[in-house]
């Protein structure tokens, strides 16, 4: 059976990113559980949800894919600001209070390679509505902001042994390797 020239041209344009809808990526959110009942939320951006959804479903065979809203209640949606300061002895907690953040934790180069090894790194958690204010305060006070985004923080973390942690890590890596997956929020330390 013959394929029309028009269909071939559209396929070439779509493949090269020059056809209709070239700028339209659909945001998809998948909720479910990794092995050992570790809750997670997966964000993906795709130009074809009919391809991405089944591929993600296949990856979830090792865990369990839930419906929309099935486990978002296990996470808090917050503002996440990751930054570093040139002085290693910078008071992270003082900066968090001054900036208006709710919590702060140490962030190392191993956790985020955008944090230089010789600098003071921190992850500031904020209310969704105050994230931009915290980001601005940090920038004005000597911090270099490397991430400022809305995200999900687990309310609790299941206890995992070494073998279970390995299973979960392998599962998360498979999801991370999918081209359309943008971010994974998992209740694992």
Cβ count within 10 A of residue 108: 10
Distances, alpha carbon 47 to alpha carbons 43, 72, 90, 111, in Å: 14, 25, 44, 30
Q: Are 135 and 145 in contact (CB under 8 A)?
A: yes
Can you give the pLDDT at residue 10? 74
Q: Quick one: which of 46, 135, 164 has its CA closest to 186?
A: 164
Q: Are strands 103-106 and 120-126 parallel, antiparallel or unpaired?
A: antiparallel
Task: Say whether both 128 and 94 belong to one domain.
Answer: yes
- Portion of the chain with pLDDT greater than 70, in percent: 93
186 CB contacts (<8 Å, ≥6 apart)? 34, 38, 39, 40, 41, 154, 168, 172
**Strand ordering across the sheet containing 181-186:** 64-65, 26-34, 38-46, 181-186
pLDDT tens per residue, range 98-121: 999 999 999 998 988 899 999 999
Can you give the pLDDT at residue 65? 93
Residue 126 lies inside a defined structural domain of this protein: yes
Task: Say whether both 149 and 79 belong to one domain.
Answer: yes
Q: Are 80 and 151 in contact (CB under 8 A)?
A: yes
Residue 104 lies inside a defined structural domain of this protein: yes
Cβ count within 10 A of residue 96: 23
Q: What is the CATH number of the domain that holds 84?
A: 3.30.70.980
Task: Say whether both 30 and 66 belong to one domain.
Answer: yes
| Residue range of the domain that includes 88 | 75-154
The structure's pTM equals 0.76
Strands, E assignment, 23-143:
26-34, 38-46, 64-65, 75-85, 103-106, 120-126
Q: Are 121 and 71 in contact (CB under 8 A)?
A: no
Please check the confidence at residue 20 and state whether its pLDDT lies above 80. Answer: no
Q: How many structural domains is the chain composed of? A: 2
């Amino acid at each position: 059976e013959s394929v029309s020239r028009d269909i071939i041209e559209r396929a070439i344009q779509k493949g090269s990113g020059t056809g209709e809808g070239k700028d339209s990526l659909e945001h998809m959110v998948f909720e479910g559980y990794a092995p050992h009942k570790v809750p997670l939320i997966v964000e993906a951006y795709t130009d074809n949800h009919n391809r991405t959804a089944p591929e993600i479903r296949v990856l979830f065979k090792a865990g369990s894919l839930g419906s929309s809203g099935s486990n978002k209640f296990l996470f808090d949606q917050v503002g996440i600001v990751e930054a570093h300061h040139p002085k290693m002895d910078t008071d992270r907690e003082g900066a968090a209070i001054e900036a208006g953040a709710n919590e702060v934790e140490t962030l190392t180069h191993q956790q985020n390679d955008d944090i230089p090894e010789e600098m003071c790194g921190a992850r500031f958690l904020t209310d969704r509505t105050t994230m931009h204010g915290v980001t601005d305060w940090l920038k004005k006070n000597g911090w270099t902001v490397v991430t400022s985004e809305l995200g999900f923080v687990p309310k609790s973390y299941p206890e995992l042994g070494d073998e279970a942690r390995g299973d979960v890590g392998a599962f998360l890596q498979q999801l991370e390797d999918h081209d359309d997956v943008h971010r994974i929020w998992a209740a694992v330390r």
